[in-house]
Copies of this chain bind each other. A is one copy, B any other.
């Protein structure tokens, strides 16, 4: 009775990735013939053709494509398991892969990662930006172990832990007229240029929580990658932006900027750590969460 093995998945992955059986054989430290035989065995035992000849190469059949997508999904998990397991022989070693879904997350994360790295010298930390992993899917696929995000998903199988509360404030030039007011109202932005990180409007709080509910808008909206550049432009009176208050406090000295709340209540957000509800995750992973929670206490 045949069993699809990891080696079969590696086979189909390598052939597709490298284009030819010969190159795949090379990568897998096998002969071309070995691969050819393996293909035959796989296809006959499963009773399904995964490749067909096209010229002098092999191309995937629909069944093959399907198997490939599963291979692409599972193989990294095997690698991750091996990494994790080999950690058990050499002490506490391991790797913590953190995915981030928001810009302020990164700024906050930097503050937490530093003490963690110090406390766990044997643990590697990988910080993945949004485009390098697939959000929730990344968590479940074991591409990442921790998801840092402002949008929690409270569903079975997941745990989202609030670790940091902050207020989103409107950042303006220090001489800006708006600073006369105790807080900004949507209509105050009608003539302003909004500067933001390059993400969809639907994920910007100023739209979802401030402008859209009352049909407000801005004169212009410019998207910029870099926080410093954004602040520089605000300081130069080229626009306004929305950022966490604590981030602004840290740049007060450097830039000629001030901040005021959005609306009379202000926009309040939380950063959450999302983790899988795993049966016994590595200790350093739980410890990272604890450390983040301690940080929460420190940051009033």
Contacts and interface: CB of A to CB of B under 8 A. Distances in A.
A47 interface: yes
A137 B157 contact: yes
B153 A134 contact: no
A105 to B, nearest CB: 15
A155 interface: yes
A77 B276 CA distance: 18
A185 interface: no
A5 to B, nearest CB: 5
Given A138-B157, A141-B140, A88 B74 contact: no
Q: Which of A6, A7, A138, A276 has the most CB of B within 10 A?
A: A6
Contact of A140 (B48, B137, B278): B137
Copies in the complex: 2
The interface size bin for chain A is 35 or more
A66 B280 contact: yes
A298 interface: no
Interface in A107-123: none
A66 B48 contact: no
A158 interface: yes
A226 interface: no
A276 B137 contact: yes
Interface string A70-106: 1000100110011011101100000000000000000
B279 A69 contact: yes
A198 interface: no
A177 interface: no
A77 B88 CA distance: 25
Interface in A145-159: 151, 153, 155-158
A30 interface: no
A86 B85 CA distance: 32
Contact of A156 (B84, B134, B282): B134
Contacts of A141: 140
Nearest to A153: B153
A274 to B, nearest CB: 10
A164 B7 CA distance: 44
Contacts of A65: 279-280
Nearest to A2: B82
Interface string A56-70: 000000110111011
A74 B80 CA distance: 12
Interface of A: 1, 3-7, 10, 29, 46-48, 62-63, 65-67, 69-70, 74, 77-78, 81-82, 84-86, 88-89, 134-141, 151, 153, 155-158, 276-280, 282
Which 8 pairs, one residue from A and one from B, show the smallest C-beta to C-beta distance? A137-B157, A140-B140, A63-B88, A134-B157, A135-B156, A47-B89, A135-B155, A136-B155
